[in-house]
Structure 1
Amino acid sequence: MALHTLKPADVMKTLDPGRYSDGGGLFLHVRSATARSWIVILHDKGKRHELSIGPAVGPGKAGMSLVEARDAAEGKRRLRTAGQLGAPPVVVPIEGRSFEQVANEWFDNVYAKEVTPKTLGDEKSSVERHAAKLLKMDVRVITKTHIVGVLEPVWHSTNRTARDLRFRLETILNYARAKDYIAADAPNAADWSVLQHLLPDVTPVVEHHDAVPYAELPAVMRTIRSKNQVAARALEFATLCAVRPTECRGARVREIDFVKNTWTVPVARLKVKEIIDKNGKTIKAPDHIVPLSRQAIRLLKNIIPNDAEPDDLIFEGEKAGQMIGHNAMTHTLQRVADGTAHGMRASFSTWRAEQTKYDYRLSEAALAHVFKSETEKAYDRSPYVEQRRPLMQDWADYLDGV
């Protein structure tokens, strides 16, 4: 075990150029006031190996901390013990890329294909605002400590935003690894399996939305159908499908399958973007597949033009290429009844519980909820697409007054 001689406070000082030993072959190499790095010098089979570990943290400078450098040095010592010290290093670009560069590349080349321009702009702004400390950092030196530092300020105040941000950071860093901007075997600094032990537990705030009593819905739906407005058609479709307003507002022609009579909502628009698999590992959630009732199919065929392009929005707002407003569906409903567009989901759930014999798991799957109890892990986010089809048809028939 190496005898350490440096302290974290020493590393953060302004130091004269030179090499400062921490013991065990680890040195802080200071080249100038702003240029410093970690190196480890090891001898193996009579040969001297001077190995660069990475940029070092310093006054006003981001980089690897003393603790992280010690861990990296220990990794090199283990390679020496295993006789692999002279193995070819993992090839990474000589010129590092900043997190900002990688994030913009991912947003423009990958994410832009999944969401609307407005959503793309909102997500970019969120990353730029909340992860400002990371933007100029080389992606190769970002550690879990940096990620925690970004998440902690919003972890309690806006936990939903913080969790979405963490997922976004992890995705961008995975992209960097896939593009060889980071070594392929490097850990992802935003990996939830690690960060969940470093961030405090937060009980999510349950937001209740006003729901129209299901007994009133047939009459309410007749009035909504009488309105010749895009927002009214969106509200009608969202109610038939029991989806969140955001999931409906962003619906595109390519998501509808008129052969299978299904609508596939991309995970990018879902509230739950990650699930835990049967091995306890956090993975990306699947897309949400909605089996469409006859009424939903008829509505879509009436409003989608024959010459529509796959990427066209089904419920386009006043400006070409943009969704209807965030509250347009709720405002349409409130001219008819007291409630919110999101609350229609609660109406559906209560109707299922009180008026049908369908298993509650089917309505939970229809609502794109995730089962959380240990005894129900086997059913976690199971789509039950065909099993849900009779449920959704009965719901549509009920809304028709049948």
Structure 2
Amino acid sequence: MSRQTNKLTATAVKSAKPTDKPVKMADGGGLYLEVRASGGKYWRMKYRFAGKEKLLAIGTYPEISLADARKAREKAKERLSEGVDPSMAKQLERKLGQQVAANTFQLVAQEWLERVHQHDVVPDHYQRNRRRLERDAFPVLGKRPLSEISAAELLACLRRIEDRGHVETAHRVKALCGQVFRYGISTGRAERDPTPDLRGALRPHRSQHFAALTEPSAVAELLRAIDGYGGQPVTIAALQIAPMVFTRPGELRQARWSDIDLDNALWSFTASKTDQPLLVPLPSQAVAILRDLYGLTGRSEYVFPGARSHKRPMSNVAIKAALDRMGFKGQMTAHGFRAMARTILAERLGYPPEYIEQQLAHAVRDSNGRAYNRTQFLEQRREMLQRWADYLDELRQAHPSSSQSSAQ
């Protein structure tokens, strides 16, 4: 004769009152409700496994109803029939659930950002990439276990960005997601990176070309406008030095006094794109400007500190805003000084491409495929930058009508 089950009723469970000692109200099949003196009600199930009596904690009432407790009892019986210990299975499920919660896309991405990415790139680049993930990836993929995200799911996330017309951002977020997946693989939280499966799935991004002046007569006009600009002294100094050294705008505005040796006319820093150290020889005109500027900003960490705080570098829009105010909107950008120098140094002054590319901090390699080191062509670049600064002076001083002829 089988033992009776489902002895309890929902009303009996609800109305059960505590006494001085714990009371066990059996429902059958090993399931019972324990009512403690404190008033707490706990669902438990007694069972035997491998010859030993064991106890399965199901949960508390009313969070777990009578019906839910009975479902848990039947599930435990199924596991026992399969030779599985229900208590051990529950512990493993809880542990797996904790692992899954710790391995969501957002948590793994945040770990990658903090432990890896912020040490690989300049602060502004790190902040931009963090915002991209927070704005475009976390709301869609953030709570999903990294290992369960498919290529189709990732594509749906990227298509939302693409549909806003931000094709370049979609490609950038895809690249960031790929880095998160690869970090997840290396740390045992994912098996593969789905981003290669999306090759060709997004609309191609057409690279933006930064506006730049490359005709000597136009460059002369720009240089004279800079000399006559009535802005902040720090901004004026940055505008004067930018065409001479033509580093990336972020590298210039984040220049630190500790990296500059005025006595030896050298500026040493890590190039933002290649993450390689670079030595920039400073022409005498740049050294003179920096010596004057030192009296104004020398106590700051930054050569070109912000207008509101000397603890931060100047704004990333300061130079472009000044160029716009001088009437060069759409004709010249902060990045445009690089294209200007590259074009004129090669076409007008005849300098070898490898000197110019090294100064631009591009990934230049020799005939054997080896990357040039930071001192490569140092003396040649020193002569080149001094000649370039002298050439800019010649353009600046030439009469507007004769700028073109003097350049030739």
RMSD value over aligned CA atoms? 4.2
Matched, 1:394 2:398: no
Relative to 1, partners in 2 of residues 1:171 and 1:217: Cα closer, same or farther, differing over 3 Å?
same
Structure 1 consecutive aligned stretches of length 4 or more whose deviation exceeds 6 Å:
257-260, 379-383
Q: Structure 1 CA distance, aligned partners of 2:265 and 2:194?
A: 41
1:37-186 to 2 correspondences below 5 Å: 96-112=102-118, 114-116=121-123, 120-131=126-137, 132-154=139-161, 157-178=165-186, 180=187, 182=189, 186=191
Partner residue, 2:321: 331
Q: Structure 1 CA distance, aligned partners of 2:233 and 2:391?
A: 23
- Preserved CA contact (<8 Å) 1:262 1:290: yes
- 1:345 maps to amino acid: R
Q: Structure 2 CA distance, aligned partners of 1:302 and 1:174?
A: 48
- Preserved CA contact (<8 Å) 1:234 1:249: yes
Relative to 1, partners in 2 of residues 1:207 and 1:314: Cα closer, same or farther, differing over 3 Å?
same
- Preserved CA contact (<8 Å) 1:96 1:181: no
Q: Structure 2 CA distance, aligned partners of 1:213 and 1:350?
A: 9
Provide Cα deviations, 1:251-310, integer angstroms capped at 9, x if missing partner. 34455566692443443xx4xxxxxxxxxxxxxx4447352323334444543579757x
Q: Please, which of 347, 353, 363 is the counterpart of residue 360 of structure 1?
A: 353
Paired residue secondary structure (1:264): strand
- Preserved CA contact (<8 Å) 1:317 1:325: yes
Relative to 1, partners in 2 of residues 1:134 and 1:252: Cα closer, same or farther, differing over 3 Å?
farther
- Preserved CA contact (<8 Å) 1:290 1:385: no
Q: Structure 1 CA distance, aligned partners of 2:115 and 2:336?
A: 36
The alpha-carbon deviation at position 400 of structure 1 amounts to 2.8
Paired residue secondary structure (1:401): helix
The alpha-carbon deviation at position 204 of structure 1 amounts to 1.6
Matched, 1:292 2:281: yes
Question: Any gaps of 5 or more consecutive residues in structure 1?
Answer: 1-31, 33-91, 271-284
Relative to 1, partners in 2 of residues 1:152 and 1:313: Cα closer, same or farther, differing over 3 Å?
farther
Q: Structure 2 CA distance, aligned partners of 1:396 and 1:110?
A: 39
Aligned residues: 286
- Preserved CA contact (<8 Å) 1:100 1:134: yes
Relative to 1, partners in 2 of residues 1:217 and 1:144: Cα closer, same or farther, differing over 3 Å?
same
- Preserved CA contact (<8 Å) 2:105 2:145: yes
Q: Structure 1 CA distance, aligned partners of 2:242 and 2:185?
A: 38
Relative to 1, partners in 2 of residues 1:266 and 1:223: Cα closer, same or farther, differing over 3 Å?
same
- 1:316 maps to amino acid: P
The alpha-carbon deviation at position 379 of structure 1 amounts to 8.5
The alpha-carbon deviation at position 93 of structure 1 amounts to 5.2
State which structure, 1 or 2, has the greater radius of gyration over its C-alpha atoms.
Answer: 2
Q: Structure 1 CA distance, aligned partners of 2:185 and 2:368?
A: 31
Structure with the bigger percentage of helix: 2
Relative to 1, partners in 2 of residues 1:330 and 1:201: Cα closer, same or farther, differing over 3 Å?
closer
Paired residue secondary structure (1:291): strand
Partner residue, 1:209: 211
Relative to 1, partners in 2 of residues 1:162 and 1:388: Cα closer, same or farther, differing over 3 Å?
farther
- Preserved CA contact (<8 Å) 2:210 2:335: no
The alpha-carbon deviation at position 127 of structure 1 amounts to 0.8
Q: Structure 2 CA distance, aligned partners of 1:398 and 1:211?
A: 15
Provide Cα deviations, 1:146-184, integer angstroms capped at 9, x if missing partner. 333333444584343233323322333344445x3526x
Partner residue, 1:224: 226
1:334-345 to 2 correspondences below 5 Å: 334-336=324-326, 338=328, 339-340=331-332, 341-345=334-338
* Amino-acid identity (%): 22
Q: Structure 1 CA distance, aligned partners of 2:299 and 2:345?
A: 35
The alpha-carbon deviation at position 96 of structure 1 amounts to 3.3
Give the TM-score, by structure 1 length: 0.56
Partner residue, 2:25: none
- 1:235 maps to amino acid: L
